[in-house]
């Protein structure tokens, strides 16, 4: 720093030397004053001048001598004080700057490093002795020329224009080749005489924080992408009868026809009001049971959209506790198409594809259930077995397409002219069956006659401008007179059908308690 390099021992020696020279200086001073007095203040005759004038001169000389001696004695003290200040500054640097956990460096006006603390060494990997006054550090830290120019310009703006920066982020390349992000706060500072000494910068290694922020932004981006592409609506709601929504995803639009803000906090409508009235109580019970058991729930129910359309939805969710409040989180998906497919598959599994009536398997299941209900008490049950008259002749004369149309027309008549409690089915070929619960013989015969009449009134276009009249023969059997099982009842109805065929067709016959006698060699078709 331009100051002598003295330690305490050297200062003490200088001080003692100065003290030893004081008597000598006094003696020589007195001699010099005496000689001057003799030379200057005696006249030619040797007469003395007035003593007052000589005494004043002597006093002035003594004062000057004492001041000189005092200054000589004060110099070691000043040197000692400056040395102490330097030592304090050095201790400050070692205890505060070097031991700081953040990067601290100082640049001189030429952008050379003059201070480089231990944290700077640890973060960058470059030692102090290779960085100080070495402009290569800029290239080491910022190997990309364009990026380096940006950072250097920022440092120059601090030094030249006095711009103070806070939170300026730069990416450095460490000695080990790692990339780190440093957040800088920097300003220039001045010396005692007002001259610009350089700039001081404090750098915080925020690499881990930036990576965490980037990971968080990536998760948020993925979540936003997921939410935007969900085939439904994600939600968070209160566990109340209105299912008060606290958050809904943008899928709310396509699912309900309402904007998200229309449902949040029941702004325009509550989600509970959108649930089909017939499903609300069931949903509430199932959700509460799942929450009580501590398990997730899955539901299927109907939802009424803003347009009034009714759709089927599937919801899966579970209870969560946030800020000591119980909430429900989940997802709701439109399953209308899936539900329609399921219903179609269920229909195909139980229906005859040609006539739309129940198939034989479904008929026997419902027939068995009806018989079991009748076996529990005096509840009659009737079964009608219908057969299209001359069906083989229709296929041979007009083709199978016309025969299929005949069966479709009869099947449509049965579907639309039996009770909801009745079951109509295609039993096989051209044979059709109707099961009539809670119906005795007289009522069953009336029902059979009404159906026969409806069929006889039908006309089928057979091509070439011709029309085809169709008729059916009907056999009737009643539980329990004609059988106590579905098989026995169908067998009795089949015997009655044969009797109707041999009686001229297009008629209704009630089963008898004894098997009919059919002439040999004849067949009913």
Query: Interior CA angle at 108 toward 144 and 100, to 5°?
Result: 80
8 Å CB contact between 49 and 41:
yes
- Which pLDDT value is given to residue 146? 95
Answer whether the bond into residue 480 is a cis peptide, omega within 30°: yes
List of residues 6+ apart from 238 with CB closer than 8 A: 244, 246, 327, 328
Low-confidence ranges of the chain (pLDDT < 50): 1-19, 21-22, 41, 43-51, 86, 518-525
8 Å CB contact between 112 and 198:
no
Q: How far apart are CA 184 and CA 305, in angstroms?
A: 55
Q: How far apart are CA 403 and CA 391, in angstroms?
A: 7
- Which pLDDT value is given to residue 240? 95
Q: How far apart are CA 114 and CA 498, in angstroms?
A: 119
Extract long-range pairs of 213-216: CB within 8 Å, 24+ residues apart.
none
Cross-strand bridge partners of residue 386: 432, 474
8 Å CB contact between 493 and 499:
no
b/e map 333-370, b = 16+ CB within 10 Å: bbbeeebeeeeeeeeeebbbeebebbbbebbbebbeeb
Reported as a single tens digit per residue, the pLDDT across 86-110 is: 455 555 555 678 888 899 999 999 9
Q: How far apart are CA 37 and CA 55, in angstroms?
A: 10
Bin 265: left if φ > 0, else alpha if -120 < ψ < 50, else beta.
left
């Amino acid at each position: 720093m331009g100051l002598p390099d003295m330690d305490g021992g050297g200062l003490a020696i200088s001080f003692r030397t100065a003290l030893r020279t004081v008597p000598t200086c006094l003696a020589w001073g007195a001699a010099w004053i005496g000689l001057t007095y003799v030379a200057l203040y005696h006249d030619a005759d040797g007469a003395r001048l007035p003593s007052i004038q000589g005494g004043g001169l002597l006093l002035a000389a003594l004062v000057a001598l004492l001041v000189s001696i005092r200054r000589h004695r004060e110099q070691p003290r000043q040197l000692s004080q400056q040395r102490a200040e330097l030592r304090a500054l050095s201790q400050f640097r070692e205890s505060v700057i070097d031991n700081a956990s953040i990067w601290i460096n100082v640049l001189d006006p030429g952008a050379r490093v003059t201070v480089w603390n231990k944290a700077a060494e640890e973060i960058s990997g470059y030692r102090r002795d290779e960085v100080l006054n070495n402009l290569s550090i800029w290239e080491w830290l910022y190997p990309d020329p364009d990026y380096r120019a940006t950072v250097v310009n920022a440092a120059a703006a601090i030094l030249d224009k006095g711009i103070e920066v806070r939170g300026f982020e730069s990416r450095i390349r460490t000695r080990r080749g790692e990339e780190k992000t440093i957040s800088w706060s920097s300003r220039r500072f001045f010396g005692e005489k007002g001259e610009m000494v350089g700039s001081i910068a404090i750098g915080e290694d925020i690499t881990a924080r930036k990576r965490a922020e980037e990971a968080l932004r990536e998760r948020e981006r993925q979540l936003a992408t997921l939410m935007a592409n969900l085939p439904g609506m994600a939600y968070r709601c209160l566990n109340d009868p209105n299912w008060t929504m606290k958050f809904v995803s943008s899928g709310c639009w396509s699912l309900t026809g309402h904007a998200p803000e229309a449902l949040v906090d029941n702004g325009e409508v509550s989600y509970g009001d959108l649930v089909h009235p017939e499903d609300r109580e069931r949903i509430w019970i199932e959700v509460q049971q799942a929450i009580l058991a501590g398990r997730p729930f899955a539901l299927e129910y109907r939802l009424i959209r803003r347009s009034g359309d009714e759709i089927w939805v599937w919801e899966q969710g579970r209870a969560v506790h946030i800020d000591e409040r119980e909430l429900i989180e989940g997802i709701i998906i439109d399953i209308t198409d899936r539900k329609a497919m399921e219903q179609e598959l269920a229909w195909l599994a139980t229906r005859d594809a040609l006539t739309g009536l129940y198939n034989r398997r479904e008929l026997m299941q419902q027939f068995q259930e009806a018989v079991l209900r009748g076996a529990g008490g005096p509840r009659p049950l009737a079964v009608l077995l219908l057969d299209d008259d001359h069906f083989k002749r229709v296929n041979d004369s007009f083709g199978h397409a016309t025969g299929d149309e005949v069966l479709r027309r009869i099947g449509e008549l049965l579907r639309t002219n039996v009770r909801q409690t009745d079951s109509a089915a295609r039993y096989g070929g051209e044979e059709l069956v109707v099961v009539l619960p809670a119906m005795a013989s007289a009522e069953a015969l009336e029902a059979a006659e009404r159906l026969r009449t409806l069929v006889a009134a039908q006309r089928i276009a057979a091509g070439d401008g011709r029309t085809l009249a169709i008729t059916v023969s009907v056999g009737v059997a009643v539980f329990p007179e004609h059988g106590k099982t579905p098989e026995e009842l169908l067998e009795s109805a089949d015997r009655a059908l044969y009797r109707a065929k041999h009686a001229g067709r297009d008629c209704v016959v009630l089963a008898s308690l004894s098997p009919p006698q059919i002439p040999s060699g004849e067949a009913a078709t």
